[in-house]
């Protein structure tokens, strides 16, 4: 029995509370019906609500206490046990944490030994280092220790075990009491006039509110996780170098140059090329689809173009690396053998490679958003222009586009924000060399690429070379957020104009 409980007392407790919850539901429902003399119409709420109310009061407080208990108990035990270890027992080069993990290992070892039957429960509590070879004993039971167990650690471990056992029983008792108490209160309240539905609905509303605020929690999580590590980074690295330096040269032996400017240059250069591809194509496609195309063409071309937006970015990345890059090398980089006979490009990864492919990816973003916006321009404005004798294209250029301009600018800003935050295309297509150069055929690197390379593989969260990724992430977040807020503001303002 004791063994069984040691395996998973918490799991058993959860199952117990759940069973009690089900019991409370059934009992409260029946009690309500009895109170109403079997006539549900006499009750304030439907009988099920009395059941739900009881189940709620049984389970929620109990699980709440359980979670708190599981978080707090280890801390309390640790504090109590640490006090037992005298300062001089902590040898040089060691720390309280290391000793504590020894204590835990010995305690777990003793438990394993008791379970295996190598030690009685009383013996585990009473053995001492002077008359037992604890290390050998534990090793026999599969717990290998780095050094001999000293008396203080053993005593601490024994104390740790006893506190843990006490804590466990106490937890079971308290939670059982809370659950039973909840069930009791709910059953006592179950009378004909009790407003069970209102109680249950208030609780459900609370759940809905918690779900809705999770969005805020995510944002807070994003900001704080990056902010704290960024602050750590700026403690280790001068901010002047980060924002104003001109070299990016991480060096894991320390003394790195970590400046964002070369990365920002690469990011913006690639994004601008992408926009040069995406904006004309996307905008003209949107104009044709919304102004000229008949329904058949529209129904076919629009979803086909939107497929481009549904293709995962890893596919575009591979396309850049293995198709567009080599093609550009054939075009610009093969010297005499090449198509143009020039030798300007040395590798498949370049700003142009990534920019072109990213441009293709952005076409549907620009076209769908602009399409919506052009369609929102009232027909009366076009009719007015036609009535004055303007051709269709003149109407579009001189009436529709100026009217839609703010919205289109918003769409372009949204596309720009996507381009800046895009990762896979630049990781595979842009290269890894940080430099500020005007030549689009050279490999350059971007903010997102560097975040990936600084945070993958073995990372040491105490070195500025790793922490810089968080500062880069925060910059990226602020940059894209700014663009989005601006774009949404413009689009919203524009929409109001014609509503």
Partner 1 sequence: MTDHTTPKNSLLRQDARTVKRNRAETRFKAYGIAAIAVGLLMLLILLTTIIGRGTGAFQQTFLTLDVQLLEAKLDKKGNRDLEDIKKVSTFGYAPLMAAALEKKVADTGIETGLKPKDMAAILSKDAAAQLRDFVLENTDLIGSSVEFRFLTNSRVDGYLKGRVTRESIANDKNISTAQLDLVDALIADGALEKRFNLAFITGADASDARPEAAGMGVSMLGSLFMMLVVLALALPIGVAASIYLEEFAPKNWITDIIEVNISNLAAVPSIVFGILGLAVFINYMHLPNSAPLVGGLVLTLMTLPTIIISTRASLKSVPPSIRDAALGVGASKMQSVFHHVLPLAAPGILTGTIIGLAQALGETAPLLLIGMVGFIASNPPDGIASGLLDPNSAMPAQIYEWAKRADPAFYERAWGGIIILLVFLVTMNAIAVMLRRRFERRW
CB-CB contact of 146 with 56 (8 Å): no
Q: Which is nearer to partner 1, 121 or 432 (CB)?
A: 432
Residue ranges in 191-210 that form contacts with partner 1 under rule CB under 8 A? 197, 201, 204-205, 207-209
Of 136, 142, 238, 280, which one interacts with partner 1 (CB under 8 A)?
280
Residue ranges in 394-423 that form contacts with partner 1 under rule CB under 8 A? 394, 396-397, 414, 417-418, 420-423
Residues 6+ apart with CB under 8 A from 220: none
DSSP letter (8 states) at residue 339: S
Of 7, 71, 75, 212, which one interacts with partner 1 (CB under 8 A)?
212
Verify binding: residue 424, partner 1, rule CB under 8 A.
yes
Please state the closest distance from residue 286 (CB atom) to partner 1, in A: 9
Please state the closest distance from residue 407 (CB atom) to partner 1, in A: 16
Buried b (16+ CB within 10 A) or exposed e, 315-325: ebbbbbbeebb
Of 67, 96, 244, 304, which one interacts with partner 1 (CB under 8 A)?
304
| Helix 447-455 × helix 464-498 angle, to 10° | 140
Q: How many Å apart are CA 352 and CA 324, to the nearest integer?
A: 9
Q: How many Å apart are CA 340 and CA 213, to the nearest integer?
A: 58
Per CB under 8 A, the segment of 122-130, 165-173, 311-319, 377-385 that binds partner 1 is 311-319
Of 42, 235, 392, 493, which one interacts with partner 1 (CB under 8 A)?
392
Of 4, 211, 255, 295, which one interacts with partner 1 (CB under 8 A)?
211
Verify binding: residue 60, partner 1, rule CB under 8 A.
no
Q: How many Å apart are CA 443 and CA 14, to the nearest integer?
A: 57
Verify binding: residue 387, partner 1, rule CB under 8 A.
no
Angle at 169 between CA 164 and CA 173, to 5 degrees: 145
Verify binding: residue 285, partner 1, rule CB under 8 A.
yes
CB-CB contact of 212 with 91 (8 Å): no
CB-CB contact of 25 with 187 (8 Å): no
Per CB under 8 A, the segment of 2-10, 26-34, 232-240, 280-288 that binds partner 1 is 280-288
Per CB under 8 A, the segment of 24-32, 76-84, 216-224, 234-242 that binds partner 1 is 216-224
Verify binding: residue 388, partner 1, rule CB under 8 A.
no
Residue ranges in 442-471 that form contacts with partner 1 under rule CB under 8 A? 448, 451-452, 455-457, 461, 469-470
Residue ranges in 23-52 that form contacts with partner 1 under rule CB under 8 A? none
**Residue 173, class by beta-carbon neighbours within 10 Å (0-12 exposed, 13-18 middle, 19+ buried)?**
exposed
Of 281, 345, 404, 416, which one interacts with partner 1 (CB under 8 A)?
281
Could you give the C-alpha distances from 181 to 15, 34, 173, 186, in angstroms and in order? 17, 22, 12, 9
Verify binding: residue 312, partner 1, rule CB under 8 A.
yes
Verify binding: residue 315, partner 1, rule CB under 8 A.
yes
What is the Cα gyration radius of the chain? 34
Contact characters 341-360, partner 1, x per CB under 8 A: -------------------x
> Which DSSP string do the residues of 230-264 spell out, in sequence order?
HHHHHHHS-HHHHHH---EE--TTS--EE-SHHHH
Please state the closest distance from residue 137 (CB atom) to partner 1, in A: 30
Contact characters 115-154, partner 1, x per CB under 8 A: ----------------------------------------
Coil, helix or strand at residue 472? helix
Verify binding: residue 157, partner 1, rule CB under 8 A.
no
Please state the closest distance from residue 308 (CB atom) to partner 1, in A: 6
Q: Which is nearer to partner 1, 91 or 225 (CB)?
A: 225
Q: Which is nearer to partner 1, 52 or 114 (CB)?
A: 52
Q: Which is nearer to partner 1, 48 or 167 (CB)?
A: 48
Q: Which is nearer to partner 1, 406 or 421 (CB)?
A: 421
Of 94, 323, 346, 439, which one interacts with partner 1 (CB under 8 A)?
323
Q: Which of 114, 224, 217 is nearest to 165 (CA)?
A: 114
> Which DSSP string do the residues of 368-394 spell out, in sequence order?
HHHHHHHHHS-HHHHHHHHHTT--HHH
Is the Cα dihedral 196, 197, 200, 203 positive or negative?
negative
DSSP letter (8 states) at residue 434: -
């Amino acid at each position: 029995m004791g063994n069984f409980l040691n395996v998973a007392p918490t799991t058993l407790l959860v199952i117990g509370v759940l069973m009690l919850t089900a019991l409370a539901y059934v009992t409260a429902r029946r009690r309500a019906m009895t109170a109403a003399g079997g006539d549900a119409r006499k009750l304030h709420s439907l009988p099920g609500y009395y059941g739900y109310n009881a189940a709620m009061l049984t389970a929620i407080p109990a699980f709440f206490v359980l979670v708190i208990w599981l978080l707090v108990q280890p801390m309390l035990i640790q504090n109590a046990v640490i006090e037992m270890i005298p300062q001089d027992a902590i040898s040089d080069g060691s720390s309280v944490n290391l000793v504590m993990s020894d204590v835990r290992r010995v305690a777990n070892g003793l438990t394993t030994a008791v379970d295996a039957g190598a030690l009685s429960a009383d013996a585990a509590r009473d053995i001492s280092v002077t008359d037992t070879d604890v290390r050998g004993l534990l090793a026999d039971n599969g717990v290998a220790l780095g050094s001999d167990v000293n008396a203080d650690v053993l005593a601490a471990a024994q104390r740790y075990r006893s506190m843990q056992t006490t804590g466990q029983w106490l937890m079971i008792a308290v939670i059982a009491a809370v659950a039973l108490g909840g069930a009791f209160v709910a059953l006592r309240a179950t009378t004909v006039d009790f407003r069970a539905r209102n109680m249950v609905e208030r609780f459900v509303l609370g759940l809905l509110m918690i779900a809705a605020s999770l969005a805020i929690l995510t944002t807070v999580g994003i900001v704080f996780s990056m902010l704290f590590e960024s602050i750590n980074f700026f403690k280790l690295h001068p901010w002047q170098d980060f924002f104003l330096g001109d070299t990016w040269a991480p060096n894991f032996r320390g003394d790195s140059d970590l400046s964002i400017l070369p990365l920002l240059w690469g990011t913006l250069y690639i994004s601008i090329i992408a926009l040069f591809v995406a904006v004309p194509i996307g905008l003209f496609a949107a104009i044709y689809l919304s102004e000229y195309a008949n329904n058949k063409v529209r129904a076919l071309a629009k979803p086909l173009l939107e497929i481009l937006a549904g293709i995962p970015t890893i596919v575009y990345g591979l396309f850049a690396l293995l198709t567009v890059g080599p093609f550009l090398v054939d075009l610009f980089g093969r010297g005499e053998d090449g198509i143009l006979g020039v030798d300007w490009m040395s590798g498949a990864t370049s700003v142009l490679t990534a920019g072109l492919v990213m441009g293709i990816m952005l076409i549907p973003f620009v076209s769908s958003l602009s399409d919506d916006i052009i369609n929102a321009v009232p027909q009366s404005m076009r009719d007015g222009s036609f009535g004055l004798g303007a051709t269709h294209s003149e109407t579009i250029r001189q009436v529709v586009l100026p009217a839609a301009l703010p919205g289109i600018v918003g769409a372009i800003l949204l596309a720009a924000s996507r381009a800046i935050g895009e990762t896979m295309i630049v990781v595979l297509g842009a290269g890894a060399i940080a430099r500020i150069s005007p030549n689009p055929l050279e490999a350059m690197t971007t903010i997102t690429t560097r975040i990936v390379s600084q945070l993958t593989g073995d990372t040491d969260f105490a070195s500025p070379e790793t922490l810089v990724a968080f500062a880069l992430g925060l910059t990226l977040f602020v940059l894209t957020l700014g663009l989005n807020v601006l774009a949404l503001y413009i689009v919203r303002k524009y929409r109001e104009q014609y509503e």
